[in-house]
Structure 1
């Protein structure tokens, strides 16, 4: 066990990726099931994501899914990674998290992002435009104000049951978003582990510019990325293949397909561009045997000074994913050996 990772919290983000042969409802049920296992393994929190109109992702309503996860578990923290604030009115987001916190007190995290729908059609359907992300700092200030009672955008309006509740905010960000997190005095969630230099630059800037607030007295950094652990390097590599191919396909065809099993991917005839993107998608992740991952993850945590690691691994074989999380929990001291 690495002494660095043993003192670092370990959490899970599941994107509710669809798989070949399984429909979107199955993906959502898989997410809830995985949350139960993560809790049993001693993980600190379990988050779900927001994607709209993406064929390969079932998670379009993160606060609804978070409620299902919280109802199916008893102690693990539950939240979003994240709600894309520019897609919503801050009052509605505050109300949703106020309801979650009221139903599951002391367990809810409010992870927030600044992306808008990723195509023009989706943005129009959401009633949003690309430029709406430019007002994120203002939107964040209003959202937090609905909890404190300090928002001034809508005098005489109060958020119920949110006002007076403490729901910890987390900001998913890189670059400018990290500066917004620092100025707002909220914890930062940043990825991925492959772009290490860029990650470290953003983290350094966040710590340098951080302003203590009622939400956090000091900087708090969560680094996010793919981590795959298996009995052999080859088995760990196979865990990475479905997502790598899905990303390569999306960048050449404009849409995410369901995750495919590795043996199907191995039989594909890829174009040169697809092959290049696919192989690029396999590189740079933390993957391997327990000993290899312990060393690599320990290095990443030491370099970044991360307080927490958020594992975002997506793969076709859910049993292999669970085994990876079990092995990771063991080597980082999150659960008893055995």
Structure 2
């Protein structure tokens, strides 16, 4: 295997996907269990996500879930991938992350995104409108100011216990996110590995516009993407089937369902439109044997100059998911942590 990946950090993002016949509590507990597994394998970070009102995703409160993950682990960094800032008041986010950092000092990351609720109903329930995303830069400045004590939006108000703490912030790039990260001098999380030309354009623009800040002296790029590893290329591609079908179903039925078994999906009669979305959902992801995946990721790192890879993999079979992360750890040359 190539040694080019030496020095590249590998991290994991888990969205707490539910499976057919499985409820949300089971999915959340499985996320915590997976965090313990990837910690032992030597991964650098474990991040959790924020989704609201999505039937197939149990992760709706990332700071709460991050607390459970951090309590169940001891060495891996834990964070949000991310908190969708337009859905929240910056003060509340600062307080929650401040509590996490106070309980688990030196292990918490603050990944911040600029998405708002996916549907009108969710946005109304959150008390937010679509145009909240246009204020992301302003909200981000306020959020960081609660940690430094320099926010001016609310004079004489202090964020406790956040003020004075140093929690690494990351901006998840959607839309204008890369430019905002560069202007704020923050690390960038960007994906996915399939749209390589667009990815490279955004990364180059981020590096060119980056302004050093108290949070980061130099640009730092985390490239996110789906990676599946198995004994054969065909087996690895099969791991992608459940998520591809969920995507196709959501695009044609308006609802993102729990993950189904590949055998059931392969026996379905899909409409032409569903088939198109399904095939598109399978294409372009990094998958294959350990050697194939190591080569593909080596190329991705060379092209993007990324310092870190954030891997997310969703599949029906949890044992196969764990095996994929084990194989990826070997392919990347990660050093297992002692028990």
Same fold (TM over 0.5): yes
Q: What do you get for the CA RMSD once the two structures are aligned?
A: 0.7
* 1:272 equivalent in alignment to 2:272: yes
Q: For the Cα contact (< 8 Å) 1:175–1:202, is it kept in 2?
A: no
- 1:165 aligns with 165
Deviations 1:54-73 (A, max 9, x none): 11100000000000000000
Distance 1:313 1:220 in 2: 23
- 2:60 aligns with 60
* 1:78 equivalent in alignment to 2:104: no
- 1:311 aligns with 311
Deviations 1:303-328 (A, max 9, x none): 00000000011111111011011011
- 2:31 aligns with 31
Q: Secondary structure at the match of 2:269?
A: coil
* 1:332 equivalent in alignment to 2:332: yes
Distance 1:240 1:335 in 2: 27
Q: For the Cα contact (< 8 Å) 1:174–1:199, is it kept in 2?
A: no
- 2:233 aligns with 233
Distance 1:283 1:214 in 2: 40
Distance 2:95 2:34 in 1: 27
Distance 1:143 1:207 in 2: 23
Deviation at 1:175, TM superposition (A): 4.2
Q: Secondary structure at the match of 1:5?
A: coil
Deviations 1:85-129 (A, max 9, x none): 000000000000000000000000000000000000000000000
- 1:224 aligns with 224
* 1:256 equivalent in alignment to 2:247: no
- Give the TM-score of the pair, scaled to structure 1: 0.99
Q: For the Cα contact (< 8 Å) 1:84–1:112, is it kept in 2?
A: yes
**What are the ranges of 5 or more consecutive residues in structure 2 without an aligned counterpart?**
none
Distance 2:242 2:187 in 1: 31
Q: Secondary structure at the match of 2:111?
A: strand
- 2:3 aligns with 3
- 2:192 aligns with 192
Deviation at 1:2, TM superposition (A): 2.4
Deviations 1:188-245 (A, max 9, x none): 0001100110110000000000000010000000000000000001110110000000
Deviations 1:242-285 (A, max 9, x none): 00000000000001010001001011000011011101100000
Distance 1:170 1:4 in 2: 25
Deviation at 1:46, TM superposition (A): 0.0
Distance 1:42 1:299 in 2: 22
Distance 1:254 1:324 in 2: 30
Deviation at 1:3, TM superposition (A): 2.2
Q: For the Cα contact (< 8 Å) 2:114–2:174, is it kept in 1?
A: no
Q: Secondary structure at the match of 2:5?
A: helix
Distance 1:6 1:311 in 2: 16
Distance 1:90 1:287 in 2: 38
- 1:281 aligns with 281
Distance 2:223 2:54 in 1: 25
- 2:177 aligns with 177
- 2:93 aligns with 93
- 1:105 aligns with 105
Q: Secondary structure at the match of 1:65?
A: helix
Q: Secondary structure at the match of 2:46?
A: strand
Q: Secondary structure at the match of 2:268?
A: coil
Please give the residue correspondences for 1:108-119 in structure 2 after superposition, counting only pairs within 5 Å. 108-119=108-119
Q: For the Cα contact (< 8 Å) 1:172–1:189, is it kept in 2?
A: yes
Q: For the Cα contact (< 8 Å) 1:170–1:186, is it kept in 2?
A: yes
Deviates more, 1:215-224 or 1:168-177: 168-177
